[in-house]
Structure 1
Amino acid sequence: MSQERYIQTGVGDVVLMLHSSMSSKSQWKGLMTQLSSTHRVIAIDLLGYGNAPFPSQRESYSLKSEIAQIDRVLDELDIAEETTVHVIGHSFGGATALRWAYEHPLKVKSLHLFEPVAFHLLEAPCEGLSQILGVIDGLYEDLKNGNKVRLCQAFIDYWSGQGAFDSFPPNVQQAMIAQVDKVILDFEALLKEPISLSDYASFSFPITLIMGEHSPISSQTISHKLKDTLRHLTFHRVDCGHMGPITHSDLVNEIWVKEIGKTISEN
């Protein structure tokens, strides 16, 4: 596996970082700099983003496909099976972090999430579920019509606010448009996840959950469900939207650095 699919820096307890859809490992550069003086920090490109390949089996793709790639990276880095790690995840990376933690509960030292988009936790009747299903229906319609530009615009504007896509320079827009096929797979994987809220309720490690005050109702609803169900959870509301780890990284990173440090002092 090419080292270009991940970056690592620092020495100490391992911190694993999982980015949002239509992003990459580079999302975490600022936080990596803050943590690398005391931790071994590893940021991974999720499948189809950055330098990671597109999923080889599109029909069978699921979050377990992401888990398998994460495990391969950790094996390549000689991180022993008994080593516990701090896991940080944002949006799609947060949902992936939840599934990785479920698969490896004994390997998690602490879990730190910003609005994991675990849409499978939403149940009808639910405004958040209706909203996100409407968004997905629109994306499929654009895909069927071959309008990937409008598809990408709808996706970006939903998570970042009206006009966000148009605010990016053309080269950034083109890079985003090139990733819309993986975005569709991400949505499909999130909706068909078999893990339930009660499964996540079994987590016994410390958890930090951050929610943006200006985020869509879908991701806010998921955050509230997790807050009301998970034990050992510290909840934070931040004056930002769903893309807070990127747009308001100073506010979000301050919380994560503090919470990871608190875990170390408690241990």
Structure 2
Amino acid sequence: MPHFVPHDAAGSGTPVVLLHGSMNTRRQWRLLFDDLKSTHRPVAVDLTGYGEAPFPEDSAHHSMDVEARRIHDLVHGHLGEEGACHLVGHSYGGAVALCYAVLYPFHVKSLTLFEPMSNHLLAEVNHPLQHDGKQLIDAIISLHGNGDGVGAAREFFNNLTGSNAFDLLPAGAQGALSGGVGKMLLDYRTTVETSMSLSDYRQIDCPVCLATGRQSPELTTTISGILCDNLKQVTSVAVRGDHMAPVFNATEVNAVVKGFLAELSDEPIPEC
């Protein structure tokens, strides 16, 4: 019996499954969720180890395939949806969305991805940035292992935003990020040790919108560039901000998502 997946669902029509990034929760997409309720059926999901979803019981065998299956069981099992859905994913959530599209190709109408952290691609194409990513994770592991959760979260956040903005965040936000470091490290492992490959992604037949931040670090935009060069039906978009633009520039990122969905629909999505 699959575990219940914490989620929010509303509206009617084609489901739009919203997948958040590491060290966040389904609340990341609350503004987009509300915007889509009048035209689609938004479904915002807590990925394992975040929000109300417990940490994986068997972390040694946890994988993106497991994440994808629990989403599929939610949407097409618990919620009873029969047709294909749109998927929207940020960072780790984007990597999971790609995995879902490979495993369940007939259940996906489109993908909207913001800098998916499909870290295995760097090693697959032997890109030198794979070593930068490993060094970053090793530094975070060291800090986290020494009990410095705040320092580990700071290292992660500042490197992915290309700034020193962590110390400007409210104490509550810093604490929430610090509490998610353990699962983030597991997310990284699952995106490196995955069975997914570029060959799998080249088989994805649905339309894909791939967005990046203009101020994002080279590590995240390089992965997006590899995907852009290999996906069949891809539209690339750049927005103001960095890797965390879906959180800190939600208005512009959400407009990209809504515009892309409108292009795929007979009914335009109204402006908010």
- Conservation of the 8 A alpha-carbon contact between 1:120 and 1:194: no
Equivalent residue, structure 1, for 2:19: 18
- Conservation of the 8 A alpha-carbon contact between 1:128 and 1:219: no
**TM-aligned CA distance change 1:241 to 1:191, over 3 Å:** same
Query: Aligned runs of 1:167-178 on 2, under 5 Å?
Result: 167-178=168-179
Partner amino acid, structure 2, of 1:29: R
For 1:193-223, what per-residue CA distance to the aligned partner results, in whole angstroms no more than 9, with x for missing partners?
1211121001111111001111111111111
Equivalent residue, structure 1, for 2:79: 77
Equivalent residue, structure 2, for 1:128: 129
Q: CA deviation at 1:233?
A: 0.8
Partner amino acid, structure 2, of 1:19: H
**TM-aligned CA distance change 1:127 to 1:240, over 3 Å:** farther
1:250, 1:172 → 2: CA distance? Answer: 20
Partner amino acid, structure 2, of 1:201: R
Query: Aligned runs of 1:137-176 on 2, under 5 Å?
Result: 137-176=138-177
Q: Which stretch shows the higher mean deviation, 124-133 or 87-96? A: 124-133
For 1:156-197, what per-residue CA distance to the aligned partner results, in whole angstroms no more than 9, with x for missing partners?
111234322211222222222111110110111111012111
1:177, 1:135 → 2: CA distance? Answer: 16
User: Sequence identity of aligned pairs in percent?
Assistant: 35
SS at match of 1:215: coil
Partner amino acid, structure 2, of 1:98: L
SS at match of 1:257: helix
**So what's the TM-score if we normalise by structure 2?**
0.92
CA RMSD of aligned residues (A): 1.6
2:33, 2:176 → 1: CA distance? Answer: 24
1:171, 1:247 → 2: CA distance? Answer: 16
1:178, 1:258 → 2: CA distance? Answer: 34
Equivalent residue, structure 2, for 1:112: 112
- Conservation of the 8 A alpha-carbon contact between 2:160 and 2:220: no
SS at match of 1:264: coil
SS at match of 1:265: coil
Equivalent residue, structure 2, for 1:98: 98
2:255, 2:176 → 1: CA distance? Answer: 29
Number of residue equivalences: 263
Partner amino acid, structure 1, of 2:81: I
1:110, 1:143 → 2: CA distance? Answer: 37
Q: Are 1:216 and 2:222 an aligned pair?
A: no
Q: CA deviation at 1:2?
A: 5.3
Unpaired stretches in structure 1, ≥5 consecutive residues: none
SS at match of 2:265: helix
2:4, 2:189 → 1: CA distance? Answer: 27
Partner amino acid, structure 2, of 1:104: Y
Q: CA deviation at 1:247?
A: 1.0
2:204, 2:168 → 1: CA distance? Answer: 40
Query: Aligned runs of 1:246-261 on 2, under 5 Å?
Result: 246-261=247-262
Q: CA deviation at 1:125?
A: 4.5
Q: CA deviation at 1:31?
A: 0.8
